Amino acid sequence: MSSRNAERSLFEPALIMQAALASVRKLAPQHMIKNPVMFVVEVGSLLTLILCLRDVMSPSSVTSPHWFSAAVCLWLWFTVLFGNFAEAVAEGRGKAQADTLRKMRKETRARKLCDGKEESVSASALRKGDIVLVSAGELIPGDGEIIEGIASVDESAMTGESAPVIRESGGDRSAVTGGTKVLSDHITVRISADPGQSFLDRMIALVEGASRQKTPNEIALHILLVGLTLVFLFACVSLVPLGSYSQLRLSITVVVALLVCLIPTTISGLLSAIGIAGMDRMLRKNVLAMSGRAVEAAGDVDTLLLDKTGTITMGNRMATELIPLRGVAIDALADAAQLASLADETPEGRSIVVLTKDRYGLRGRDAARFHFVPFSAQTRMSGCDDGARVIRKGAVEAIRRHVEALGGSADEELEALAARIGRTGGTPLAVSDGSSVLGVIHLKDIVKGGIKERFERFRAMGIRTVMITGDNPQTAAAIAQEAGVDDFLAEATPETKLRLIKAEQDKGKLVAMTGDGTNDAPALAQADVGVAMNTGTQAAKEAGNMVDLDSNPTKLLEVVEVGKQILMTRGCLTTFSIANDVAKYFAILPALFVPAFPQLAPLNIMHLSSPQSAILAAVMFNALIIVVLIPLALRGVRYRPLGAAQLLRRSLLVFGLGGIITPFVGIKLLDLLLSVLNLV
Amino acid sequence: MSMFGVLQALLFLLCITLLTKPVGLYLFAVYESEAPPLASTLGRLEQLLYRLCGVDPKQQQRWSSYAQSVLLFGLFGIIASFVILRLQQLLPLNPQHMQSVSSDLAFNTAVSFATNTNWQSYAGESTLSHLSQMAALGFHNFTSAAVGIGVALALARGLTRKPGPYGDHCVGNLWVDLIRSLVYVLVPLSLLGMLFFVSQGMVQSLSAPIAAHTLDGVPQLIPMGPVASQEVIKQLGTNGGGFFNVNSAHPFENPTPLTNFVALLLVFLLPAALTYTYGKMAGDTRQGWALFGAMLVLFVVGLIATTAAEQSPNPALAGFPIDHAAGNMEGKEVRFGVFGSALFATVTTAASCGAVNAMHDSFTPLGGLIPLVNIQLGEVIFGGVGSGLYGMLIFAVLAVFIAGLLVGRTPEYLGKKIEAKEMTLAMLYVLIFPLVVLGLSAWAATSSDGLSALGSAGPHGLTEILYAFSSAVGNNGSAFAGLSANAPFWNLTLGVAMLLGRYFMIIPVLALSGSMIGKKTVPKGPGTFPTGSLLFVGLLIGVIVILGALTFFPALSLGPLAEHFAAQYGKVY
């Protein structure tokens, strides 16, 4: 799967061959009907084909030369094929990835625990709730959650990241994915997906586009395009009787050619390719979107909820300093701080142990002597009991309450110290021994470089950023200011997060967020765009509508950009497609009418060489422009973080005005080419 | 263009622009405020009418029930007018002893006035009794305009109202809108206007025609009638159905240059003011001014084009010793001249009024093309009373859909998302016009019934056909003249065209309102595209012109364009 990350050229020869074959297969009516505009083209092409054959059979009814009807017919079929080709190329890139993924789904054996006994079964026989054992060197047989043990796992097959990751029971790093490999230790896993429902299965289906459905906006756009097609159908069909009033006999081939040139074939041919390519672009960024709807919603997001840790600041807070209260020896504080943190497996806890080890040389403890009290969200403290000695460290508030409960008191010096650290954006942790407070540990957050500029871009796009943190308001405010977010939610709990999302949504806003923990699941489900980290729990992954395989929360920003890009690409090509019609009218109508009304010749403003070459050039342009625009449809138009009015002006200039001018040039050139080659 | 013409045009534009805000505010107060103005006088009348009609003004309707009321009211009006026209010989106020109107003409006329089209296949002074003019037709002049305002308000409410505890999913009450339109707007203004018109010499009488002798001693019948009372609402309600056959070219129907000017102001007064009312309803008057701006630009372009075309001499008369600098004077009243006629023609076709003070049939091919294009753009250049606003709003929805995509958001208008359902309804609205116009034109152009009515051959005849059906479906009523439309084929096809053009467009509009009204409003931000900006005005104009041009360009090339280029070679039809 690592090939996914490699920058591949848009048109690999192998893919092109596959796509060319697929575009013929896609001519089947049951496929074409899904795209009504292109279906009209196919029906028109069929009609001209029949007429062309009839003309060959019975030359008496011939109104125009054989070669002309044959050439128009051929290019009409090309129009359909080019549209199919665009879709096939977009799908082909996904298919190649799906094949790589499918190779991973090889048949493995699993060691299933049945009533305490180990039993070897086929991985595909595993059901939800089964418990399996996996040891170093074995493949994990299915998606699940570690219920016992810790292991390093190679997930490169899934994420393309070669460095192994740690997976352990409990906490937010307990989910494992089928097909990944355990490198060390052994774990017990509870399977969480039935066969065919696994993450890998869903990923294959998504990548292949098998489960692709039209997104709401795609449907609305289709309606607009179908409506325009009907308008042009009326205009072209009525031209036959109106022409006959004017003693003008129009051949059906020519009317079909006019119709196909006018209906929005460019955007219709490329529409599904744009959607598939958008999903594909997400995948290249290692984000797996569960539906196109989610990607589209990402473009609309008004509010981004960003976890401070990992997104705005560098990973974890680190203990940088120990500050004893007056009259307390620094060694005593260091000793207590280390004891209180030994059982604290959070990165902060570990950083305290490391700091005390490095700076104060404390090591080699007899762990059995102590009774450890792990960190809990309720008490917001951790520590250990050494006989009667109660050592704790935790949030300043929590420690204050703790020592007061033991009859001690926290003096003002503690508050002052904590406030000072808080103001600088750091986090203070208090350490207590018995009923007395010893001092404060300074935990520091480091804001990521470049993040401030990034938020400025979002502000220009009209997106509000809200930092979510468990810190106290003071700390949060300092970091928020440093990072340049618009707002922050301090002392966040899953409930306040959920409430914030609902409040924003009630104001009519679309909210995006990232999360990894099980307690993030409700908020992820509530958010309009919920990006779950791949390292997160199964519950979080189920609740979100995207999974970031890199587990990089900053990705949210890119997700929004891809969403916007898809919408813009659709808009630009629609505008282009409609604007093209002006030139096509000036190419085809004079060609149709001049035989009956020689005085209409001034309408031939392009001075095309003959009626036949004019019509043929317009039809060819109409077909070729689809091919020319395939790279744009697949890559998407470039997104610039500008205000809406500026963006619109720019796009209208490039694709509106450009759309009017381009076909004049293109059709004229094709006409010149046809007459130089003496084809017409 | 003469200096006088330029001044008149500028004065006209200035007056319309200056009147838009105060009248718009007044309309807003009448329809949307808790307590309408003039409670002690007009308010009493309003309450009285509610009691008489059994209307509960507090009761609100959902879109479907509003639409039902519109349809029922229309049906009732059509049947009543049909009966009066058929039985006019038995009814009073018939000094000329007019006979019963033929059933196809009665159908056409009843539908025509009920749909605010006022297409006239007949000559009023030689067909209808005074009672028919006043009751069967005058009634519709008022109510069809009032219904138009109601539907526009319903759509505006759907777009602007926030879903809340009250008024949720309800788009207003047709009967309240109708009665308020009559009591506060149409009747008082008509009374004032009538007094003014009479002061200018317009006829207002129930007497029989006056027998007179011309200077040559030839006996002549001068038809009389309640003209002034009809004239104001004819213009104010964008009806256009004239008392006399030659409409506003008749000296009794349009006696002075001043009445000509005021009549034109009356046409644009309500359609322009409603854009401001809409802006007030949206809580942002720029929204209304943007629509006004788009209308104004399209109007001015049309005016300049028509005037330029009419100012150019007729190439067919090139060798004759006449004053070629006067422009094309064929079919024009000398009192109004080229500019007065061009201005009137542009106004009356931009707004779906349909009154005429010159014969469009005699315009130069391009001069006749512009009025036709005005109609074919969907009657949104100020348009009919109410219908101009709702037509423009549909185009705004389409423009916003494309603009939204271009800025990378799913499209929204006034903070409400435009989704598949709204697009379906908007496209239905857009489709009905070309479908009926082109379908029926194609039929008429190939059937002997259709062709026998043509006054001209070749491209000009085709223009007559296109003009008639465009005018009918657009509910304009303007006649190109030249077409002898009082025949069963034309009366029936045009009648059906008018019905489709009115009700098949109103139903999607109301449905759109109903689907928008319950939607959440997304607050505005720098990422949302501003629909009150100049850029939006440009986009809106682009959408209207491109859609209209792409639809009708082929047909127009065979009609007016072919005729125009032929005329350059001296060939006339």
Q: pLDDT by residue (tens digit) across B98-119?
A: 899 999 999 999 999 999 999 9
The pLDDT value given to residue B380: 94
H or E segment and range at residue B302? helix B285-311
- When pLDDT is cut at 50, 70 and 90, the band that residue B367 belongs to is very high
Angle at B541 between CA B390 and CA B19, to 5 degrees: 60
Pair of tokens at residue B47 = 């309450």
Note whether B522 contacts A461, CB cutoff 8 Å.
Answer: no
> What pLDDT digit, counting tens, does each position of A338-366 carry?
888 887 777 778 888 888 888 887 776 66
Q: Which of B415, B438, B461 sits opposite A234 (nearest CB)?
A: B438
Helices A555-593 and A611-635, interaxial angle, to 10°? Answer: 180
What ipTM was assigned to the predicted interfaces of this complex? 0.93
Please name the residues between 436 and 455 in chain B that touch chain A, using a CB distance below 8 Å: 438-439, 441-443, 445-446
- On chain A, the residues whose CB falls within 8 A of the CB of B409 are 299-300, 564, 567, 644
Identity of the residue numbered B283: G
A407: left (phi over 0), alpha (psi -120 to 50) or beta: left
Note whether B462 contacts A246, CB cutoff 8 Å.
Answer: yes
Under 8 Å CB-to-CB from B47, ≥6 apart: which residues? Answer: none
Mean pLDDT within B367-387: 94
Asked if the C-beta of B415 comes within 8 angstroms of chain A's C-beta atoms, the answer is: yes
User: Whole-angstrom Cα distance, residue B346 to residue B375?
Assistant: 10
Q: Is the pLDDT of residue A146 over 60?
A: yes
Q: Is the pLDDT of residue A484 over 60?
A: yes
Q: Is the pLDDT of residue A5 over 50?
A: no
Mutate to test the interface with B, among A245, A565, A640 (most CBs of B within 10 A): A245
The pLDDT value given to residue A235: 94
Residues B180 and B235: beta-carbon distance below 8 Å? no
Residues A40 and A268: beta-carbon distance below 8 Å? no
User: Whole-angstrom Cα distance, residue A73 to residue A65?
Assistant: 13
A318-324 and A487-489 as β-strands: parallel, antiparallel, unpaired? unpaired
- When pLDDT is cut at 50, 70 and 90, the band that residue A211 belongs to is low
Q: For the ranges A345-349, A506-510, B229-233, which has the lowest average pLDDT?
A: A345-349
Note whether B554 contacts A235, CB cutoff 8 Å.
Answer: yes
The pLDDT value given to residue B165: 52
Q: DSSP assignment of A568-630, as one string?
A: HHHHHHHHHHHHHHHHHHHHHHHHHHTTT-GGGGGG-TT--S-HHHHHHHHHHHHHHHHHHHH
Q: Which of B522, B550, B565 sits opposite A581 (nearest CB)?
A: B550
Mean pLDDT within B132-157: 94
The pLDDT value given to residue A61: 55
Closest CA to B272 of B413, B152, B184: B152
Note whether A585 contacts B550, CB cutoff 8 Å.
Answer: yes
Pair of tokens at residue A608 = 């095309």
Q: Which of A220, A460, A599 sits opposite B423 (nearest CB)?
A: A220
Q: Is the pLDDT of residue A210 over 60?
A: no
Q: Quick one: what percent of chain A has pLDDT higher than 70?
A: 93
Under 8 Å CB-to-CB from A72, ≥6 apart: which residues? Answer: A48, A253, A254, A256, A257, A615, A616, A619
- When pLDDT is cut at 50, 70 and 90, the band that residue A398 belongs to is confident
Quote the mean pLDDT of chain A. Answer: 84
Mean pLDDT within A483-489: 89
Q: Which residues of A are catalytic?
A: 307
Mean pLDDT within B51-73: 94
Q: Is the pLDDT of residue A1 over 50?
A: no
- When pLDDT is cut at 50, 70 and 90, the band that residue A371 belongs to is confident
- On chain B, the residues whose CB falls within 8 A of the CB of A217 are 405, 410-411, 419
Q: Which residue of A has its CA nearest to B533?
A: A645
Q: Which residue of B has its CA nearest to A641?
A: B527
- More reliable by pLDDT, A7 or B423: B423
| Residue B214 phi, psi dihedral angles, 5° rounding | -75, 175
CA torsion through residues B323, B326, B332, B333, sign: negative
What's the predicted TM-score (pTM) here? 0.85
Residue spans of the domains in chain B: they are 22-210+221-256
A21: left (phi over 0), alpha (psi -120 to 50) or beta: alpha
> What pLDDT digit, counting tens, does each position of A380-393 carry?
788 888 777 888 88
The pLDDT value given to residue A192: 83
Closest CA to B226 of B253, B189, B258: B253
Pair of tokens at residue B18 = 């200056």
Query: What's the order of all strands across the beta sheet hosting A389-395?
Result: A318-324, A436-444, A427-433, A389-395, A381-386, A371-373
Note whether B565 contacts A602, CB cutoff 8 Å.
Answer: yes
User: Would you call B225 helix, strand, or coil by DSSP?
Assistant: coil
Residues A255 and A263: beta-carbon distance below 8 Å? no
Mean pLDDT within B463-485: 90
Residues A158 and A1: beta-carbon distance below 8 Å? yes
User: Whole-angstrom Cα distance, residue B391 to residue B374?
Assistant: 13
The pLDDT value given to residue A571: 94
Note whether B526 contacts A244, CB cutoff 8 Å.
Answer: no
Closest CA to A663 of A586, A590, A554: A586
| Residue B140 phi, psi dihedral angles, 5° rounding | -70, -30
Closest CA to A398 of A357, A356, A427, A423: A427
The pLDDT value given to residue A315: 62
B537: closest CA of chain A, how far (Å): 12
- When pLDDT is cut at 50, 70 and 90, the band that residue A104 belongs to is low
The pLDDT value given to residue A7: 42
Closest CA to B275 of B39, B456, B68, B27: B27
> What pLDDT digit, counting tens, does each position of A459-477 carry?
877 788 899 888 778 778 8
Residues A508 and A501: beta-carbon distance below 8 Å? no
The pLDDT value given to residue A4: 41
Q: For the ranges A521-530, A536-545, B350-359, which has the lowest average pLDDT?
A: A536-545
Q: Quick one: what percent of chain B has pLDDT higher than 90?
A: 65
The pLDDT value given to residue A545: 86
Asked if the C-beta of B406 comes within 8 angstroms of chain A's C-beta atoms, the answer is: yes
- More reliable by pLDDT, A481 or A534: A481
Asked if the C-beta of B546 comes within 8 angstroms of chain A's C-beta atoms, the answer is: yes
Q: Which residue of B has its CA nearest to A579?
A: B546
Please name the residues between 499 and 538 in chain B that touch chain A, using a CB distance below 8 Å: 520-523, 525-530, 533, 535
Place of tokens 């409409």: B247
Mean pLDDT within B375-401: 95
Note whether B408 contacts A299, CB cutoff 8 Å.
Answer: yes
